Structure 1
């Protein structure tokens, strides 16, 4: 046994030191990713705290406030149109217990006049624009703004239509596939492998395993973005439906396990952007940046712009170029 330890301990020590060194210097083994965008200011659901979520009014306001990226979800109508909406069932958004897939585009209801902000419980957004927006209208209006599209449905037709629109508007480099489901992500990537993509839940768990075992510096990663909760918002401004996340001990453990600055710095050094959400207060934005986020996602684009302006000396190093864009003149109809 002693002879076994004689060889094991030096090998283990050498592995640990090598892993730690490569964690800080990942470009020795990996080529840095070069995406066509670098975003520090991301608007969740188009900035749903300031305008009705996912409407053209919300997207316009977010771009006017200086956002670098729009985050959204898509679903397919019964007559084959790609509609921007977080939910497939429209009860929460419109008060009508119907699904997008059961309706033709012309039959979609309007959003509620006042809509509660999911990640800021008790607060509501309003806006003159209450129509559901089409993805193609958003692409037409903002041809140069990076967009992260989450696909929630395992629907090959939806995935193909999104891909076709991305190709049609020549924005494969600045449109991101996002999904929590690895099966859906596999279909997205097989349909259009030219688009950058984010971590799924399964790949995120693998990422943590690789980090804690020291294997991460040796492992290739195809993802370009990691988008994840800032755990401190859970149960304070965001009340999750999942009962297990309502337990503060679970949330505390989640924070300790996932919010690792060394991990985020390693990903950033490899060119993988880290976006933490949904940060709707100054203290959350500060916490996200302090733990190593390269970008912050918020429901309030003006709040985020104000924070970055007030702390521009501290945040100037997190952005590599000016992402400000001119507003387009595209049609914002249904």
Structure 2
């Protein structure tokens, strides 16, 4: 009997060790955003399932996926990508399809596909947040009149100083057209014509010699802090983190913001597919998405999460006004068109790279 009990105990212990040994790897963007995912998704998921979550970071997590899948050597289980990248990679056969039936209903009982914001769930992608590219400035650099519009970002005469821009066509072309007077609801119609593309690059020409280019999300706040730029475009959550969490004198300008979904995909051939699906399902529940907003100012991709968004982790800052989806921040805002960028990404980035080298 003692031998049997010992044997049973050893087997049970073995299963426990095996469960604890299971680990998935999630590729994200680093910084405060990654922290928000670890705190709101990964830690509670591990506590609930025993499955460990290892998080890695990249400047653009979409980039390594294609190489890994084509090489047949995939190390990532879940990858955080921008919406247009998720759609494009799905079309290219680089991602696992995701059955929407696995997604949990909202906390209020609303079926998942009615609870997620419009278009937030596709064949291979489930949105987690709404983020935006905004611009920001150091308030100590403008003691008189301060910039308030997207046009001010391009006005070197009125607001002198270096400008920070992400190195790429996307968002820069849209912001350039809005700064040049194109209404937000006409930006993609304009950008879909040769004349519109020329107009956008002509506007970028006006600040080209004053631009400091950035590629990783952590760079814009650092450029501001180091005094290398007077203003910079940035992900709104990065500026929020620097201003509210770190006390930097940075001001976000939402006028002319370009907002879009970001979310999770699973690379084709992910080594722990079943665990990856469990993680994705857990991370996209009403409560998990609401909890993420405690750490960063990105809006949840579920309607039922909105009422649950409360204070920042400091226990005193109301998160609502810092969200890109706050009503007052949407007065001159542009929803990024993933359809446009899926169709035109290659040609416009080729044009952008030629312009940059010229």
Return the TM-score normalized by structure 1: 0.28
**Which has the larger share of strand?**
2
- The structure number with the bigger radius of gyration is 2
